[in-house]
Amino acid sequence: MLRLAIVDDEAPARANLRAALGTIPLEIDVVGQAHDVASAVALLNDARPDVVLLDIWLGDGTGFDVVEQLTHDRTRVVFVTAFDNYAVRAFKSGAVHYLLKPVVRADLHEALERISAEPMPSASALQAVRQSLFDRITIPTAEGFHVLTPQEIVRCESDGNYTRFHLVNGDKVLASRTMKEFDALLEPHGFMRVHLSHLVNMAQVKMYLHRDGGTLVLANGQEVPVSHRRRNEVVEALGRKGR
């Protein structure tokens, strides 16, 4: 028996999920429903279901707020949302699946079947999974997803509404997201926005040149301009005082 909770701020959405669950050939016990962060946290910490179908945008916050306030690691999270641009953050928060609305019954069935077939991981195993996810970057592309470690990335370059990733091995990956969305994601891994159009892995910098207002020479030989506004910050990050 799979014990399940539903969290969505819209009653019709909760009803649709409940109806879809009724058509899935699995033993499912819906232990409760919630509509906002406060009620969701209370429900999940009290009932400790095996899985929660969790919306991202709730009335008083987000599904991420719910995950952060859980006092246990028992509940596996399946995000169910109309927005496809939160997948990276969802998996980093420890989610096991990410479904887009309107939910396809077959996809929901597959997700729950996989969860029910897998033994509940220990708290230490969950922490290891989350750490491994933190050490990887999921890049959404037109074909699907590329999973990279930050060390594989030399730099990111803005290309309109897309971001071009330049990799250590010479490959390029075109992400179907703006660079702004990767800025905060990569900053903890030693990346720095050195220009409006360039985000650089500072471990890949081999030389700083004063010409043209500031230029970085990278390990692969590529040169990246540094904006005047970022110049002092970049020089300081490289351990030198600006002139």
Residues 70-82 pLDDT 10s: 888 789 999 998 8
Q: Tell me, what's the pLDDT at 94?
A: 66
Q: What is the pTM assigned to this prediction?
A: 0.53
Main-chain dihedrals φ then ψ at residue 133, nearest 5 degrees: -70, -35
Confidence of residue 242 (pLDDT cuts 50, 70, 90): very low
Name residue, tokens 């030198």. Answer: 240
Tell me the pLDDT tens digit for each residue of 30-59. Answer: 999 999 999 999 999 999 999 999 998 887
Q: What is the pLDDT of residue 205?
A: 95
Least confident of 3-12, 77-86, 212-221: 77-86
What does CATH list as the number for 138-237? 2.40.50.1020
Length of the chain, please?
Answer: 243
Distance CA 186, CA 142 (A): 21
**Weakest-pLDDT range from 27-31, 34-38, 140-144, 179-183:** 140-144
Q: Is residue 134 very low, low, confident or very high in pLDDT (cuts 50, 70, 90)?
A: low
Residue 184 has pLDDT above 70, yes or no: yes
Torsion sign, CA atoms 72, 76, 82, 83: positive
Do the Cβ atoms of 166 and 183 come closer than 8 Å?
no
Indicate if the pLDDT at residue 174 is higher than 90: yes
193-198: long-range contacts, CB 8 A cutoff, minimum separation 24: 193/230, 194/224, 194/225, 194/226, 194/227, 194/230, 194/234, 195/224, 195/225, 195/226, 195/227, 195/230, 196/158, 196/227, 197/157, 197/158, 198/155, 198/156, 198/157, 198/158, 198/224, 198/225
Considering only CA atoms, which of 186, 180, 229 is closest in space to residue 204? 186
Q: For residue 123, what pLDDT is reported? A: 54
Q: Where in the chain is the domain with CATH 2.40.50.1020?
A: 138-237
Distance from the first to the final alpha carbon of the chain: 68
Q: Residue 4: how many CB atoms within 10 A of its CB?
A: 26
The pLDDT-based confidence of 90 (bands split at 50, 70, 90) is low
Residue 125: which pLDDT band, with cuts at 50, 70 and 90? very low
Residue 131 has pLDDT above 70, yes or no: no
User: Which CATH number describes the domain made up of 2-134?
Assistant: 3.40.50.2300
Of residues 94 and 175, more confidence is placed in 175
Every domain range in the chain assigned CATH 3.40.50.2300: 2-134
